[in-house]
Structure 1
Amino acid sequence: MDSEIEGDLNCNRDMNLSHAMLNDPISCNAYYELFQTHDDLFKDKIVLDVGCRSGMLSLMAVEVGAIKVIATGNMESADFVEKALSGSEKEDIFESINGSIEQIRLPYGLKKVDIIVSEWMGHAIFTESLYRDVIYARDKWLVKGGLIIPNVATLFMAGISKHVPENFQEDEIDSEDEILLEDYVRPDQLMTHRFRLKITNLSVANKEDEYFQGPFGMNALRDGEIEGFVLHFDVAVAHDKISMPLFSIGPRAPKTYLKQTVIYLEDNLMVQKHEMIEGYIGMFANKSAVRGVEFILGMKTIYESSSEMSE
């Protein structure tokens, strides 16, 4: 894909996410509590906002005492932060840098930053994420022992019953081609306990950790049919100096700007209460989609089949 076209696609996606973030009270309030409760961590520190998706984390860092906040990525959100600070005594603290993370240089000859903030998570953590950008910034600029906020995302999956997507007509989801979508699942649709697939900690992760495969096993909550699986995750901060859960995008949690990922089965799976459902799942780079991923789902023991899906 032409690099200029790819850049435009990334920008459009980031802007769509930024508007959704700013209108999401769940994540906004979680970040606000984090910054206000731990404002001492930011005082007189140099902060790098990787992606600047909504500009919210940059603005909060300025407000709680950072000596310099540098934003990369979404220049429209960076402009929003500049306008919000314009005319105040803190307007010179914030600065944005245009360009890809691999091409930019920090201003004033700076070599390191004390803290990286980023709204890096995408759907199923890694779809449309800034994971690799944060890893790159961490390895190049973050001081030893520096903080990444937020740095932990824990991915779960659970079996679900028949699911009708929001704003869809009942007869619109019967197509065999509709096997993967981003949506919200209600708690009463859960057919199994949740299974923890992966914990991602950006403080220690490698860029290859973005993709994985492995087995899963979960018990049925009741008799019925499993139509598919839902992927969702919890977000937290976990460092020596700070440990705090932020928000969840699970079916039992309030809705956020991040949707869950629903993977349909080609054939429904009949289960009985307490029965174990076993299988494997993989997530890999989708080379045909910018920041996209491909899922591979297979069932074993009681459901011998597999299928591939892309997002």
Structure 2
Amino acid sequence: MKIDSDMESDLNCNRDMNISNAILNDPISCKAYHELFQTHNDLFKDKIVLDVGCRSGMLSLMAVEVGAIKVIATGNMESADFVEKALSGSEKKDIFESIKGSIEQIRLPYGLKKVDIIVSEWMGHAIFTESLYRDVIYARDKWLDKGGLIIPNVATLFMAGMTKNVPKNTQEDEEDTEDEMLLEDYVTPDQLMTHRFRLKIINLSVAIKEDEYFQSPFGLNALRDGEIQGLVLHFDVAFAHNNIRMPLFSIGPRKPKTYLKQTLIYLEDNLMVQKHEMIEGYIAMFANKSAVRGVEFVLGMKTINDEELSE
């Protein structure tokens, strides 16, 4: 089916609002951002702030509240409307302004050439899937002043082996579809079969756009005897600047659930392991418009002295 531009715009709008509602209903990330802005409010005083994506409007509103002199939002106009309504009637209402259009098309108002801070709820599943990563990099390179800040700017991607949690009334031998081999869901701690392995650290202050697609070797240490039926990708989010290193939230299986889910990659052939056994392999993530969610994962793994399994 061909999707025209109006239909694509409607789909993007619906997706943005779903994300917006999920963020605003997530006490974990909301509390983390609130503590960051309140603890380091001096970073925002009299600064010009650009909210890339304005996914929930929350970061724009917080920036206004802690002393930004101007806050400009791009992306989700419905969330921008929420911010305008929240500020209406207050003496700070003129601080906030939204700009409609894609990040490549817009111009900053009042002839502004630079901003001091970029804020964005930019992370997607497995950090990069359905994210605003490229938008933030574009905005950074075009508008962020030298020494400017991106908040949050650090995400660390991890991977672990897991068992499959079969839903009730579902047969285990039921044939998997392409969608069922790659899912966004939550894994419980008792499903974990290995320790976690750090795959990648992204710092938006220095990252390049090509960093979102990568290949990495890994080594996993089995926690117990059993079958590894899939891999779970999850990440931690933080803000780092000079002497500041502030963890914000994690979407790991041992942490409380957030609006962001983990990414589950199920194996075609399960891998039998024994406690403390090492599993080695590689994982690659790259763009593929014809694949589910616009990305494709390539995986190879084996136990030590075992034959390699590939996906």
Give me the TM-score of the superposition, normalised by structure 1. 0.94
Once the two structures are superposed, the pairs formed by residues 148-167 of structure 1 within 5 Å of their partners are 148-164=150-166
Partner of 1:188: 190
In 2, the alpha carbon distance for the partners of 1:10 and 1:203 equals: 27
Partner of 1:171: 171
In 2, the alpha carbon distance for the partners of 1:8 and 1:288 equals: 21
- Equivalenced residues, count: 305
The DSSP-based 3-state class of the residue aligned with 2:63 is helix
1:71 matches 2:73: yes
1:305 matches 2:292: no
Q: Which segment is superposed worse, 4-13 or 74-83?
A: 4-13
The DSSP-based 3-state class of the residue aligned with 1:170 is coil
Q: Deviations over 1:238-282 (max 9, x none)?
A: 111532000000000000000001111111111000100111101
Q: Which amino acid aligns with 2:308?
A: E
In 1, the alpha carbon distance for the partners of 2:43 and 2:62 equals: 12
Q: Deviations over 1:65-98 (max 9, x none)?
A: 0000000000000000000000000000000000
Q: Note if contact 1:164-1:173 (Cα within 8 Å) is conserved in structure 2.
A: no
Once the two structures are superposed, the pairs formed by residues 193-232 of structure 1 within 5 Å of their partners are 193-232=195-234
- CA-atom RMSD, angstroms? 1.6
> What displacement does 1:299 show?
1.4
1:95 aligns with one of 94, 97, 100: 97
1:114 aligns with one of 106, 113, 116: 116
Q: Note if contact 1:278-1:299 (Cα within 8 Å) is conserved in structure 2.
A: yes
Partner of 2:258: 256
Once the two structures are superposed, the pairs formed by residues 12-91 of structure 1 within 5 Å of their partners are 12-91=14-93
Q: Which amino acid aligns with 1:77?
A: S
Q: Which segment is superposed worse, 117-126 or 292-301?
A: 292-301
Partner of 1:238: 240
Q: Which amino acid aligns with 2:148?
A: G
Partner of 2:281: 279
In 2, the alpha carbon distance for the partners of 1:9 and 1:242 equals: 38
Q: Note if contact 1:17-1:53 (Cα within 8 Å) is conserved in structure 2.
A: yes
Q: For structure 2, which runs of at least 5 residues remain unmatched after alignment?
A: none
> What displacement does 1:176 show?
2.5
> What displacement does 1:2 show?
4.5
Q: Note if contact 1:120-1:134 (Cα within 8 Å) is conserved in structure 2.
A: yes
Q: Note if contact 2:24-2:30 (Cα within 8 Å) is conserved in structure 1.
A: yes
> What displacement does 1:293 show?
1.6
Q: For structure 1, which runs of at least 5 residues remain unmatched after alignment?
A: none
Q: Which amino acid aligns with 1:152?
A: V
Q: Deviations over 1:141-165 (max 9, x none)?
A: 0000100000011000000013235
